[in-house]
Structure 1
């Protein structure tokens, strides 16, 4: 039980040392991640659709 308490105590101590991003930075990072994820989702959806149509064309 002592080891678990010590783990949480050390974890809390380390978390105080973390340099947390400011609100403006966090917003910018979030927008960047969401934009990138959306771009790649659309890109791979289009590629998947293209490959699917190509395979249908070849098999018919």
Structure 2
């Protein structure tokens, strides 16, 4: 039981050392991540549609 208590004390100490982003930074990083994910999703959807069309041309 003492090991578990020590573990959580250590976690608490380490969490106080963490440099958390401020609100403005957090918004900036969130927008960057969402933009990147949307771009990658659209890019791969277009590539997938293109490859599917080429394959359909050869099959028919």
TM-score by length of 1: 0.98
Deviation at 1:46, TM superposition (A): 0.3
Other-structure match for 2:19: 19
* 5+ residue gaps, structure 1: none
Q: Structure 2: how far apart are the matches of 1:48 and 1:4?
A: 49
* 5+ residue gaps, structure 2: none
Q: Structure 2: how far apart are the matches of 1:5 and 1:58?
A: 65
Other-structure match for 1:36: 36
Q: Structure 1: how far apart are the matches of 2:24 and 2:32?
A: 12
Q: Structure 2: how far apart are the matches of 1:35 and 1:45?
A: 15
TM-score by length of 2: 0.98
User: How many residue pairs align between the two structures?
Assistant: 60
CA RMSD in angstroms, aligned pairs only: 0.4
